Amino acid sequence: MGSVDELMGNLDGVEFLISARDARFIAGDRSLDPSEQQGKPRGSWKTLESKPTRTIEAGERIGSLEAIATPGHTPGHLAFLDTRDRSLVAGDAWVTLGGVATLDKPSWRFPLVRMGTWHPPTSLDSSKQLRALEPTRLAVGHGPVVEAPGPKMDAAIAKSG
């Protein structure tokens, strides 16, 4: 999210899409819904000047990308599955910097994304949900793309236990 304002200011005609839930966070509303795990949201949430051009929800498609609800890192986090080849764009639902890992436990290799995760147990549930999709590749917000990630995802989930 750190570059959204700059990108929106420099690129004409670009859409800025986000879940309706997370649109509240970036607008400065850090309140939690009654159905969400209560407590102070972790991390440093930046309030953006840019406004989304529209919001999207789980199940919607953007071309061949299907939005999947993956709360945990944020309450309204979304991942995207490419329906053509099962590539998974997981955002911050997984991390691959220093190895494939879930966000429910701190990783000494890259602890920052975990430190900013709203609710680690929910994040682990979302990681398991994404693994069940049998992705052919895993692209994340922090780390390289991993081809045939299934066994590495399984090992990371097993470590989380």
What are the pLDDT tens digits along the chain (161 aa)?
A: 778 999 999 999 999 999 999 999 889 888 888 887 776 666 667 788 999 999 999 999 999 999 999 998 888 999 999 999 999 999 999 999 888 999 877 665 655 565 567 678 888 999 999 999 999 999 998 899 999 999 999 999 999 86
CATH (domain of 96): 3.60.15.10
- At a CB cut-off of 8 Å and minimum separation 6, what does 117 contact? 42, 43, 72, 73, 92, 103, 104, 123
Domain of 156 in residue numbering reads as: 4-160
Q: Distance between CA atoms of 112 and 4, rounded to whole angstroms? A: 19
Distance CA 74, CA 96 (A): 18
pLDDT (0 to 100) of residue 150: 98
Quick check: pTM over 0.85? yes
* Total count of domains within the chain: 1
